[in-house]
A and B are shown apart, each in its own frame.
Chain A
């Protein structure tokens, strides 16, 4: 199954700034001058090999939207942040190639950054499409209608042409859709949030965002270790440093790279993907967090199997 990231930023979409572009430009030109290479393609190849991701790319700035693609059948999407706009366009194209015009959405919760892309989600305006929105909250429909009503948005929810269904899921039960089994787990977040574990063809992916973990809560941690157990990929909200997450930003509903590694190590997870990046961080800071997380895993691995660690970026694809 392929995990395709369309939006990876937490709380608020952001854009790469001119200052950020200039830093990348300076780093690339400095490298080029030192290398003596004059061919552009050759230079890019060398940069891709030698330079940091933050020099050659950007992590992107769309808010949370992640697609799980089994390669055929109905589409599966986690959250409808601003990344849902480019996702919608891509799904329209793929449907033209024969995929069913059905999208199964799984919402972690209905805070704005996780639903703001829906009014710009092209399939919602096409009567040929069915969009099933799953979640643990009773207010799924209310929230989506509210954000798409006057005076907040010019196109009322009633004017959407697709068939839109809402499915409330019960924690503990396993939901089967399109050959994919989905389990849901309540998480600590203002107004609650839900994590999802998807299993398809023997592979498992956990999507767990907007989830605060308290280091002192042993029972809660044990529950997440079971939920993550043996997963091929865990997409984890690592928005803050541990210090911030348990002090000045306690109760803000997010977690850290440290707790991410600790839980994934205990659960024998194979691949951890850091997600829900702090909107105040630039590319260099996000990459620094990744490097430090990789180092933390090395420091604490002991006799455990290595845990692969990535940092989500808009456009990233991970196959499991």
Chain B
């Protein structure tokens, strides 16, 4: 396990999975900063690299600009043969995902533990022994 990101976008690495957790709001005001924070992990989101989990448990609101950041991340990862998944959405954000049809773009898990179980046994073990 290793803590990497700070502030609005804390990131933690568990074996071959990076979990990044945007806080509070994601919109036009901080969308570019989020994409910049995501970029180094996204670049390595490929076979033999890392999986990316977006932990949205601390996100209260996401605008169309914020959703676009998620879409671009999913698109880049797919192009590279990797995958970005979503974990821990609160009710409001989950409804926004459903209404905007973003649930069609991602695998969605109840929480980070469930996401790691699906993505990597090593990462799941590291997460539970943290």
- Kindly list chain A residues whose C-beta atoms are within 8 Å of the C-beta of B28: 215-216, 218, 221
Closest-by-CB residue of A relative to B29 is A218
Q: Is the CB of A262 within 8 A of B71?
A: no
Residues 78 to 104 of chain B near chain A (Cβ within 8 Å): 92, 95-96, 98-102, 104
- Kindly list chain A residues whose C-beta atoms are within 8 Å of the C-beta of B22: none
A300 to B92, CA, bound (A): 9
Is A126's CB within 8 Å of the partner chain B?
no
Q: Is the CB of A215 within 8 A of B67?
A: yes
Q: How many A residues are at the interface, by size bracket? A: 20 to 34
Q: Kindly identify which residue among B64, B71, B75, B95 contacts A299, using a CB–CB cutoff of 8 Å.
A: B95
Q: Which of the listed residues A215, A218, A258, A293 has the most CB atoms from chain B within 10 Å of its own CB?
A: A215
Supposing A295-B99, A299-B96 touch, asked if A215 and B63 sit within 8 A by C-beta, the answer is yes
A292 to B28, CA, bound (A): 23
- Kindly list chain A residues whose C-beta atoms are within 8 Å of the C-beta of B65: 215-216
Closest-by-CB residue of B relative to A291 is B99
Q: Kindly identify which residue among A215, A243, A259, A299 contacts B101, using a CB–CB cutoff of 8 Å.
A: A243
Q: Is the CB of A242 within 8 A of B64?
A: yes
Closest-by-CB residue of B relative to A255 is B64
Is B61's CB within 8 Å of the partner chain A?
yes
Is B105's CB within 8 Å of the partner chain A?
yes
- Kindly list chain B residues whose C-beta atoms are within 8 Å of the C-beta of A215: 28, 63-65, 67-68
A interface SS class? helix
Q: Kindly identify which residue among A216, A259, A293 contacts B31, using a CB–CB cutoff of 8 Å.
A: A216
A244 to B65, CA, bound (A): 14
Chain A nearest CB, measured from B91 CB (Å): 9
- Kindly list chain B residues whose C-beta atoms are within 8 Å of the C-beta of A242: 64, 67, 100-102
Q: Which of the listed residues B61, B71, B92, B101 has the most CB atoms from chain A within 10 Å of its own CB?
A: B101
Q: How many B residues are at the interface, by size bracket? A: 20 to 34
- Kindly list chain B residues whose C-beta atoms are within 8 Å of the C-beta of A299: 92, 95-96
Indicate with 1 or 0, residue by residue over A77-119, a CB within 8 angstroms of chain B CB atoms: 0000000000000000000000000000000000000000000
- Kindly list chain B residues whose C-beta atoms are within 8 Å of the C-beta of A258: 64, 67, 96, 99-100
- Kindly list chain B residues whose C-beta atoms are within 8 Å of the C-beta of A247: 71, 75, 105
Closest-by-CB residue of B relative to A221 is B28
- Kindly list chain B residues whose C-beta atoms are within 8 Å of the C-beta of A218: 28
Is A175's CB within 8 Å of the partner chain B?
no
Q: Which of the listed residues A221, A243, A256 has the most CB atoms from chain B within 10 Å of its own CB?
A: A243
Closest-by-CB residue of A relative to B93 is A299
Q: Is the CB of B61 within 8 A of A259?
A: no
Residues 217 to 233 of chain A near chain B (Cβ within 8 Å): 218, 221
Is A246's CB within 8 Å of the partner chain B?
yes
Closest-by-CB residue of A relative to B70 is A243
Closest-by-CB residue of B relative to A243 is B101
B binding-site residues for A, Cβ under 8 Å: 28, 31, 61, 63-65, 67-68, 71, 75, 92, 95-96, 98-102, 104-105
Given A221-B28, A243-B102, A300-B96, 16 new contacts (CB under 8 A): A215-B68, A216-B31, A241-B101, A242-B67, A242-B101, A242-B102, A243-B104, A244-B101, A247-B75, A256-B64, A258-B64, A258-B67, A258-B99, A258-B100, A293-B99, A295-B95
- Can you give 24 contacting A-B residue pairs, CB < 8 Å? A215-B63, A215-B64, A215-B68, A216-B68, A218-B28, A241-B100, A243-B100, A243-B101, A243-B104, A246-B71, A247-B71, A247-B75, A256-B100, A257-B99, A258-B64, A258-B99, A292-B99, A295-B95, A295-B99, A296-B95, A296-B96, A299-B95, A299-B96, A300-B61
